[in-house]
Chains A and B, each alone.
Chain A
């Protein structure tokens, strides 16, 4: 029984269902049913409504498509960048590696909060919510790589000293030629980094809402829904606020299960 295949189909199923919910006639993630704010499950709203009376199910489904898409793309970019920088640092010329790791460390320590504020002030206030979301994920991808790059560097150094690598060198292969074989060996290292980035980016996006970036109203943001959990008054009013967390866990588990072949 191929567990990973089942997981892939299940994930596909989740995405299709979410798409179907969003595309269903009459479904709107922004329509406010003002007579029913914070309602429980009803025939019209299967998962109840949020604080402004918007259908929670449609919002969660739309957020899944939007935030997950954004976070996946950002995590992919960040992991790729980290893989590049990490291998470059390990295999590249001495000075380049030194500089790359130095930049990583500087990046990890700088207060990027203020850069994000500058990004916001450079954007026009009328930037549409969708563009703002795209820009946010782009910025996250641009800022997320250093932590990951160091882990990759460490793995690459280990590889460099591994026996098959020594053999290859002894056979006369140059560093440039070796990299082709290194990247696939790094996959087991990159994959967990990639998976860890996804929830981190989803939450980071929500935190950026405070700076005027992030997914703007009325677009639903998964991170925003996760952050609702930090309001005990809301937790007390409806248990449906846990829905996005449950769904996120399911999606992450499925993502994790897909590439498991070891």
Chain B
């Protein structure tokens, strides 16, 4: 019974988010400057064609409720509507890209966690300011993803996975480093260290279990960061993923595609948020 209520709550929450995101994105895209313009209008040869296409689009999405209705109608039909730029069902565009991006994100996540956990374990056990670990992490944080990707291209080394992982790793590292330092200073650990128990054993028996619940927060932090770096990395490395598609869709004001991508992002964010809420029993956090 309790589980059913929790599921209902989750469902309500998810659908509320999805609905708000759909309405919000439609408003943002439709009323952003340039929704009814086409680059070809500037080219005297193609201007007439472009203007004709634009007036058709204006007829389609002239009134906002009408536009919203037609977008939602696409989802009801099951193909997420027609791409404005390519004239094919959005799902056909998104399907193969979802796999590419998913695998990219997952690999980058694993690599960055491996890097961050290793580095944080070592640095938190070491001497206090641990500049040796902090400086490279800060350096990585200071370089924009696009610049990192270009430097990778220039060096002919590393690919999108590495860049995304390097984008993520310092943030995860800083988070873990702080968590671990706090854990090392817990009274029972201090006592155990004073009693001469080896670090490796402490790590296994006390430290890792004590930070395990934080992994949820780490996942949520990581996914938000990854999504922010996805577009530049995919565009620069020419990865055929969602980030590249979203970028194209934004440039072309391709509302149906953007809506679909935004929806996927929203679901990813919700999923990562679930990892946060999970350790609590549903409903418990507010019932103490």
Contacts and interface: CB of A to CB of B under 8 A. Distances in A.
A and B touch in the complex (CB under 8 A): yes
Interface of A: 3, 90, 94, 97-98, 101-102, 105-106, 108-115, 117-118, 120-121, 147, 150-151, 153-155, 157, 160-161, 169, 188, 192, 195-196, 199-200, 203, 206-207, 223, 226-227, 229-232, 235, 245, 248-249, 252-253, 256-257, 260, 262
Contact of B153 (A106, A150, A195, A232): A232
Interface in B215-230: 216-217, 220-221, 224, 228
Given A105-B273, A150-B273, A154-B217, 18 more contacts: A101-B273, A109-B263, A110-B21, A112-B28, A121-B32, A154-B276, A160-B285, A169-B288, A196-B141, A229-B144, A229-B150, A231-B150, A232-B150, A245-B139, A245-B142, A249-B135, A253-B134, A262-B185
A226 B143 contact: yes
B61 interface: no
Nearest to A161: B288
A230 B178 contact: no
Contacts of A203: 144
B31 interface: yes
Interface in B1-50: 13, 16-17, 20-21, 24-25, 28-29, 31-34
Contacts of B31: 114, 118
Interface in B236-288: 236, 246, 250, 258, 262-263, 265-266, 269-270, 273, 276, 280, 285-286, 288
A199 B142 contact: yes
Contact of B147 (A90, A196, A229): A229
Nearest to A3: B129
A94 B246 CA distance: 36
A232 B154 contact: yes
A226 B24 CA distance: 32
Contacts of B131: 253
Contact of A114 (B16, B29, B142, B154): B29
A147 B147 CA distance: 23
Contacts of A223: 144
A113 B34 CA distance: 13
B182 interface: yes
Given A105-B273, A256-B138, A262-B185, A111 B149 contact: no
Interface string B47-65: 0000000000000000000
Nearest to A153: B276
Contacts of A106: 17, 20-21, 24, 266
